[in-house]
Structure 1
């Protein structure tokens, strides 16, 4: 099976990866949007968990990771619910970890263990301990494939960086003990700037936050009215919305009508209708310089300044006033 990706190119993958890609849990991710509510308020904000999962697998492959680590990368998001991290707010999980809590249950109840067993792999050895996979995951503020892919993918799709920019950055990666570092402080500065375009300018874009908050409220109401149940979140975004649209609840229909892009928003800390804080996400990649690893913030005032601004913005959150149409 050949797998093609805009960022990383085309690769022939092993049969175990091909079968997993075609499995129901991975195919479901085509209907789960990475940005949660974002596609509902801007149709161009439409990256899916499937695209990201394929990208993570292929970037691990490009960097020389094992088939086992590619499997872990492909499957790392299969337990993401409809609307991704919106559900963490619906269910009051401030650490945005609900998909991690249910990960093993989702795996065990699927065909994934059987597929792996048929190829002489055990899911317990590959999928239940991320610490084995040093390319796939690293604690912030270091780089890892997961963090790199969603940043490059979103920012390329949404017009912030070119393919050439992304490819040039990937060439600056150096692996030391199977961990990702950078050869050059300029590459670190570029990625830091790009990452904060993602987690501050995009995740905390007023329209994105508005959609997030309104969808959270709608889904909470739909649960309370028993129009949907918790298990529905293991379906696709549009399947969950379809159940709500079919409801005869006037409250739900009114809330649904509020999720659109024709809204005027103003950042206003004094008079606000919405205050939203997401998970704090900071980046400070290490650079291999003079045979030593040094944090980018030790080498660059720009990285320090960007990090301070991002910390302040994320810690304070976004205060939005909804301006009525005149």
Structure 2
């Protein structure tokens, strides 16, 4: 099986990866959008969890990670719900960890354990804590963070493929940890990361669409037209259930959200705001290699240090969103 990626290149993958990619649990992720409801209001915000999962696997492969870590990368988002992190708001999970709570149950009701066993593995291989390239605590680089940043921004036209490829050439591994081999590329990625977690995650239109959908889903749960297990399907299933089985009020709200593209207008404005969002604090200070030792990029660049503080201030302040056309 050969996989082609505009970001990372083309790779032939082993049978275990082929079988995992083709299984129903992974294929479901093609119908789960990474940005929640934002694709309903902006056509360019349409990355799926499937694309991201494959991307993490391929980035790990490109970086020389072992096969087991690539498997863990492919499956790290297997338990994400329909509309991804929107369900964290619905289920009151401020740490955005609802999908992590569902991980083991999702794996056990899938055919993933059987596939792993057929190839000589068990579920222990998927424990992300053992894989230092796949997941790292902030403010470090990791394959998950790198892929969603590059993928979202390239898809929406904020960065170019040539910029992505230049960064990837500077992305290296030292003793199992990602670092960037020149300060210029470190500055570029830090800037890109804040475009992702501040300018995109907290974009007024993104905040509006996710908050509006969360309110619709909460109401549908209260009224009984949706059940919690519906979230473990995919976006289209949830939408169809709402449009076919929900109360008239929920149906109308969902139809309104879906038909507003591209007519809805929102601004960031604190006076008489309609929605407020303060997301999980995400700050970036990658390692660079200085005299064969890993050091924080901020120690070598006041600009990176300043970007860190500016992003921290913006994240803690959150964003207030006002509808210019009040279509609620």
Q: Identify the match of residue 130 of structure 1 among 128, 131, 134.
A: 128
Distance 1:141 1:167 in 2: 22
Distance 1:319 1:300 in 2: 31
Q: How far does residue 28 in structure 1 lie from its aligned partner after superposition?
A: 0.2
Task: Quote the residue 1:296 is aligned against.
Answer: 297
Q: How far does residue 193 in structure 1 lie from its aligned partner after superposition?
A: 0.3
Q: Identify the match of residue 238 of structure 1 among 236, 239, 242.
A: 236
Distance 1:144 1:98 in 2: 21
- 1:13-59 deviations in Å (ceiling 9; x for gaps): 00010000000110000000010011011122100000000011111
3-state SS, counterpart of residue 214 of structure 2: helix
Q: How far does residue 325 in structure 1 lie from its aligned partner after superposition?
A: 6.9
Q: Identify the match of residue 255 of structure 1 among 253, 256, 268.
A: 253
3-state SS, counterpart of residue 147 of structure 1: helix
Distance 2:14 2:36 in 1: 31
Question: Which residues of 2 match residues 142-157 of structure 1 at below 5 A?
Answer: 142-157=140-155
- How many pairs were matched up? 324
Distance 1:38 1:264 in 2: 14
Task: Quote the residue 1:319 is aligned against.
Answer: 320
- 1:125-157 deviations in Å (ceiling 9; x for gaps): 211x31211110111100011110011111111
Task: Quote the residue 1:50 is aligned against.
Answer: 50
| 1:154–1:198 Cα contact (<8 Å) kept | yes
Distance 1:201 1:248 in 2: 34
Task: Quote the residue 1:36 is aligned against.
Answer: 36
Q: How far does residue 264 in structure 1 lie from its aligned partner after superposition?
A: 2.1
Q: How far does residue 270 in structure 1 lie from its aligned partner after superposition?
A: 2.6
Scaled by the length of structure 2, the TM-score of the pair is 0.96
Gaps of 5+ in 1: none
Task: Quote the residue 2:103 is aligned against.
Answer: 103
Distance 1:211 1:156 in 2: 21
Task: Quote the residue 1:271 is aligned against.
Answer: 272
| 1:214–1:258 Cα contact (<8 Å) kept | no
Task: Quote the residue 2:157 is aligned against.
Answer: 159
Task: Quote the residue 1:181 is aligned against.
Answer: 179
Q: How far does residue 324 in structure 1 lie from its aligned partner after superposition?
A: 3.2
Scaled by the length of structure 1, the TM-score of the pair is 0.97
3-state SS, counterpart of residue 320 of structure 2: strand
RMSD: 1.3
- 1:226-285 deviations in Å (ceiling 9; x for gaps): 111011111110110000001251220232134233222222223211111111111110
3-state SS, counterpart of residue 194 of structure 1: helix
Task: Quote the residue 1:229 is aligned against.
Answer: 227
| 2:26–2:78 Cα contact (<8 Å) kept | yes
C-alpha spacing 1:316/1:118, structure 2 compared with 1 (3 Å): same
Distance 1:308 1:55 in 2: 30
Task: Quote the residue 1:281 is aligned against.
Answer: 282
Gaps of 5+ in 2: none
| 2:63–2:172 Cα contact (<8 Å) kept | no
C-alpha spacing 1:324/1:163, structure 2 compared with 1 (3 Å): closer
Question: Which residues of 2 match residues 2-41 of structure 1 at below 5 A?
Answer: 2-41=2-41
Q: Please identify, of 291-300 and 19-28, the stretch whose mean Cα deviation from structure 2 is larger.
A: 291-300
| 1:37–1:83 Cα contact (<8 Å) kept | yes
After TM superposition, which residue ranges in structure 1, 4 or more long, deviate above 3 angstroms? Answer: none
- 1:185-237 deviations in Å (ceiling 9; x for gaps): 11110000000111111111111111010000011111111111011111110
